[in-house]
Each structure stands twice: as structure tokens, then as C-alpha cells.
């Protein structure tokens, strides 16, 4: 069978109408049924574009000129927006961002989960969708003879050097700027990916919004850190409220940010934050949601869907440092949390103790293995809560959840695609998807979190 030719060719200029927005924030146009993905465009706009790449069923184009502008278009306030890959949709008005995120969730649940009639509520947004991130982790490098620190350009490993990031908390901006200058001053060499030489790989800053405490983490290729004592003293002098200065060693040739070894250079091993009256100890590698205001809304919705009366047993799979578990423990008889990362479970136990919660217990392991063991010990969950990584739930875990027959499953997801895939499996296993609530944890980006309630048929 002869391969069908694309109706447009590379370097061809065409005028198109944008019909939709893709999951990565690109506008989608059709030329004779052939899809073109065009970044920085908005549905309803007419645009002249240049084709940059064609594949069998779709292609990519670059915006040349907006011919008819959408009412949803705004001027991006960040001067680096055109280059930086961090925010994809700053050019879209915030209320429109929330509508597009709701549509993205609705579309994938209709198409993949085959659930066109499930209610997907309007996205819960922020009053002020800027300066919300409590953690910054930026790579450093030499580029064109300059020491740079910032975020990567889209689809590249070239760093956009930056003085500030307007979705980042100002305290984190200050830390990155100060450490970058000090590294230059003391001749601490930036790591080079190609040669695997140099010392400083990443600078990480964490901020406890409720406490004002700051943690600085220096990620280095080896254990040696030149001028370490001077660097510590200078950070203490220049960074207000710094409580913790850590070093993490990552000697591998990898894109993964953190290595296995972390040590305290000065101060405490943790900083603290509080959400809705629950206090959390946060270590250098803790998974802790980066938007505390929206975390309160997200977990509040999960608690509402769990519908706890005080008599329930709850299992929290992928419990991390116990963030959701402790929200649940205030309303449940007993909560069991499981997580594969040992350090996270150590933090979860510490956080339960910190809050005086004795009805939450935690285990290290894969949820699909630990949960049947709990069941053999007589644990009968009324509610199971899952908050998996972007790849979604392991299929064996889904089968285990179905076999344990909880009355309700609350699924917290950071990826609508894998959520929809998993909902189909749970539906086929005897559960009914009741409703879905999108929450905007990452304004100005295409990411959307959701909380979904399922009940057993």
C-alpha cells in the first residue's frame, strides 16, 4: 500500500485556523485533515505558520504571524517566555487556562476511559497564579564561556540563564542568584554533561511558606566541594532564614537530578511547613507538593471524596512523606500508608509523630505486594486512596485494589492520560467513576492534577 503524502511540506508557509489545544499546550490546526501542532497559538486564531517537520499522520509548524487574534490572548509577563521551556501557556488568559485544562481532562476520559457521561467539574484555580512554587531545582553549566543557571529551553539541554522566575517564590529566586554568584566567586566549576567534568551540577532551593524557612541543596559530581567552609559562611550571611545547607552527591552520567548520598553541611536536616494545621518536616529529597495553597484544595477534595465518618480503615498507596495520609488520619479510625522509597517512609513516620497522630502506620514496599500482606493480617479497607507518579498505577496494584473491594477509591492523578487508562480497568473490575475534579497546581503550564471518586457497584 502506497504511503500517503502529507498535504504540506517542510519549510512550506500556510495560513491555518487553530481548532484545539494539545496536551503540551500547542495549538492544533488541520490542513486537509492533516494535523499541525503549532506552539504559542490559541484555538479560534487564524495564523500564518511555517512547517518545520512532517510525519506520517501529523506535523509541526512555527508561528510566523497571528492574522486573527483570540480574545484569550495576553502578553506574557516573563521576558524569557519565548525561549524557556518551563511555562507553555503564559500567553493565554488565566480563566481560559482553567477552561482548557477542564477540556483536556474531559476529552481524555471520554476517549480513553470511554466515560462520556462522567461529570468533570470546572478546574479549581488560584486567586493569584504567580510566585507559587516552593521548590526550585536548576542546572548549572558553562555556555559560550559564561557560568549560567536556569531552566532548559524546550526540547533541548541548553540552559536559559535567568535572574528571576515569576512562578517561583522570591526566596528561591534569591537563593539561586546568590549561590550562582558565590560559585563563580570561589571558582567552583559548573558540571559539563559531555565531558563529565566539573563540580556543581544543580542548585536546589526549598521554602516553607508557613514558616519562612529556607533550605539550600548543592548537588555535586563528587564528595569534594572546593572552598566549602567559605561557601557555607557566605550562604548563611546572604540568605535570610536559611535553616539547612545540604550537599547531595550524584557521580553518575544521568539526567536524574539527585544522587543517593545526602549530607548536612550546616544546620538542620529538615525545614518545616504547615498545611491546614498539619506540620511537615521536609528533607532535601522529600516529595512535597510545590504549590502549598493548591495542595490544601487538592487534598481537601480527596478528603471530601473519601467521605470519612470516623469509623473507616483507609489505605494510602504511594503515600510519600504522608501528606494525604495525615489529612485522612484526622478523620479515620486507622490509616495505612505504603511507599517504595525508604526515606519517604522515615519522613512519614516522623510527620505522624510531629502531629501526634498515632492512628497512621507506614510500610516500605510496592503497594501491590504490601496491601495483600495487610489483608492477610486482617486489614479490610473501606477506602483506598492512590496518588501515583505520572506513569499511573501498576496494573497489579489495580488488580489488588479491585480484589480488596473497598467501598470507595479516591484517585489523585497528575496525568489525565494514565488516569483515564486506569479508570477503564477499575470500571471493568466493578467500580463506577462518579465524578472528576481538576485542580490547577501549576498555573501557566499545561499540567493539571485531578481527584476522582469511584464507588463499588
**Inter-residue contact 421 to 457 (CB < 8 Å):** no
Q: Exactly one of 78, 87, 393, 414 is catalytic; which is it? A: 414
DSSP 121: P
Q: Who contacts 262 (Cβ-Cβ below 8 Å, separation ≥6)?
A: 217, 246, 247, 248, 249, 283, 284, 285
In contact, 133 and 167? CB cutoff 8 Å: yes
Secondary structure letter of residue 6 according to DSSP: P
**Exposed, middle or buried, 298 (CB in 10 Å: 0-12/13-18/19+)?**
buried
- The answer to whether 29 touches 44, Cβ cutoff 8 Å, is no
Q: Compute φ and ψ for 251, nearest 5 degrees.
A: -95, 5
CA distance 412 to 385: 8
**Secondary structure of residue 54 in the 3-state scheme:** strand
Comparing CA positions, the residue from 435, 454, 351, 339 lying closest to residue 389 is 339
List residues bridging with 274 in a β-sheet.
279
Residue 339: count of CB within 10 angstroms of its CB: 26
Detail the DSSP E strand segments found in 231-365: 242-249, 261-267, 271-275, 278-282, 313-317, 334-339, 360-364
In contact, 207 and 234? CB cutoff 8 Å: no
Is 197 among the residues known to form the active site? no
Active-site residue set: 414
Amino acid at each position: 500500500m502506497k504511503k500517503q503524502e502529507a498535504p504540506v511540506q517542510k519549510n512550506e508557509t500556510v495560513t491555518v485556523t487553530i481548532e484545539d489545544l494539545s496536551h503540551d499546550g500547542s495549538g492544533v490546526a488541520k490542513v486537509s485533515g492533516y494535523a499541525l501542532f503549532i506552539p504559542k497559538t490559541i484555538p479560534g486564531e487564524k495564523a500564518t505558520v511555517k512547517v518545520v517537520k512532517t510525519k506520517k499522520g501529523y506535523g509541526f509548524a512555527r508561528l510566523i504571524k497571528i492574522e486573527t487574534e483570540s480574545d484569550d490572548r495576553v502578553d506574557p509577563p516573563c521576558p524569557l517566555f519565548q525561549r524557556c521551556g518551563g511555562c507553555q501557556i503564559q500567553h493565554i488568559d488565566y480563566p481560559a487556562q482553567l477552561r482548557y485544562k477542564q477540556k483536556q481532562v474531559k476529552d481524555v476520559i471520554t476517549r480513553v476511559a470511554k466515560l462520556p457521561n462522567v461529570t468533570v467539574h470546572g478546574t479549581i484555580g488560584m486567586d493569584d497564579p504567580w510566585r507559587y512554587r516552593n521548590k526550585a531545582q536548576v542546572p548549572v553549566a558553562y555556555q559560550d564561556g559564561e557560568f549560567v543557571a536556569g531552566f532548559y529551553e524546550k526540547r533541548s539541554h541548553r540552559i536559559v540563564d535567568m535572574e528571576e522566575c515569576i512562578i517561583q517564590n522570591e526566596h528561591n529566586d534569591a537563593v539561586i542568584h546568590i549561590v550562582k554568584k558565590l560559585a563563580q566567586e570561589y571558582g567552583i566549576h559548573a558540571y559539563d554533561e559531555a565531558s563529565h567534568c566539573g563540580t556543581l551540577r544543580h542548585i536546589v532551593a526549598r521554602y516553607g511558606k508557613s514558616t519562612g524557612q529556607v533550605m539550600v541543596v548543592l548537588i555535586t559530581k563528587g564528595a569534594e566541594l572546593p572552598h566549602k567552609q567559605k561557601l557555607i559562611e557566605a550562604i548563611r550571611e546572604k540568605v535570610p532564614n536559611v535553616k539547612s545547607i545540604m550537599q547531595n552527591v550524584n557521580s553518575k552520567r544521568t539526567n536524574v537530578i539527585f544522587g543517593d548520598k545526602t549530607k548536612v553541611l550546616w544546620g538542620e536536616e529538615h525545614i518545616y511547613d504547615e498545611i491546614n494545621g498539619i506540620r511537615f518536616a521536609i528533607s532535601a529529597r522529600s516529595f512535597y507538593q510545590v504549590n502549598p495553597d493548591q495542595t490544601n484544595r487538592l487534598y481537601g477534595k480527596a478528603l471530601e471524596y473519601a467521605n470519612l465518618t470516623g469509623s473507616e480503615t483507609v489505605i494510602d498507596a504511594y503515600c510519600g512523606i504522608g501528606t494525604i495520609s495525615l489529612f485522612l488520619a484526622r478523620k479515620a479510625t486507622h490509616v495505612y500508608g505504603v511507599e517504595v522509597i525508604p526515606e519517604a517512609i522515615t519522613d512519614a513516620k516522623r510527620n505522624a509523630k510531629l502531629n501526634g497522630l498515632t492512628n497512621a502506620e507506614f510500610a516500605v514496599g510496592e503497594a501491590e505486594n504490601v496491601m495483600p500482606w495487610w489483608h492477610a493480617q486482617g486489614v479490610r479497607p473501606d477506602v483506598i486512596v492512590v496518588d501515583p507518579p505520572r506513569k499511573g498505577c501498576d496494573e497489579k496494584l489495580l488488580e489488588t485494589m479491585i480484589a480488596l473491594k473497598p467501598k470507595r477509591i479516591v484517585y489523585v492523578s497528575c496525568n489525565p492520560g494514565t488516569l483515564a487508562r486506569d479508570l477503564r480497568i477499575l470500571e471493568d473490575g466493578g467500580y463506577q467513576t462518579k465524578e472528576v475534579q481538576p485542580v490547577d497546581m501549576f498555573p501557566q503550564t499545561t499540567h493539571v492534577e485531578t481527584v476522582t471518586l469511584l464507588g463499588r457497584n
